[in-house]
Amino acid sequence: MEEATLSTKNKALQINLNPQFYGTIAEIGGGQEVSRHFFQAGGASGTIAKTISAYDKTFSDVFYNKGKKGRYVSEQRLVKMLQMEFEELVSTLGPSRDADTRFFVFADTVETLNYHKTNNGQGWLGVRFRLSPEKEASTVVIHANLLENDGILQQYTLGALGINLIYACFHY
């Protein structure tokens, strides 16, 4: 029997409707495309604890680099985002959530095509998650080159890639 292929919206909805999944989404640079998918799918209030977009470089440095300047679209920045957001999520909400909660953080730091189209879109995406509440967190990190010649298409790709990455972490 063939398994149905789920759309990005249906994957986001399945995550939203599972009361065990609860997390934070932190997106820098490419818009808030992954959070948008969760909100548009419906039921996000049961899944999303916080969304954040530290678009301004100074805010990004304060939040994720202890106030020091650093590379913004880099694996190192992404790893800091995942670690800091996961620690905050678990320490803030861990005591008040059900014991079977599987916390997750999705983060990305992305450069999409600029207005003058003088750059190449690319970025780092990752998920820090617990497959079960008693286990240590796992981390998945990927790099993506955004090959579309349109910023809106790159944002769509970013959103779909993020939803698929989160879905895969919990289902495969």
> Could you list the residue range(s) of the whole structural domain that residue 43 is in?
8-171
pTM: 0.94
Which CATH number is 124's domain given? 3.90.950.20
What pLDDT score was predicted for residue 100? 92
What pLDDT score was predicted for residue 155? 95
Give domain status of residue 3, yes or no.
no
Burial of 53 (C-beta count, 10 Å sphere; 0-12/13-18/19+):
middle
Give domain status of residue 1, yes or no.
no
pLDDT single digits (tens) 14-41: 999 999 999 999 999 888 999 999 999 9
Structure tokens at 85: 């957001």
Report strand pairing: 121-129 vs 102-111. antiparallel
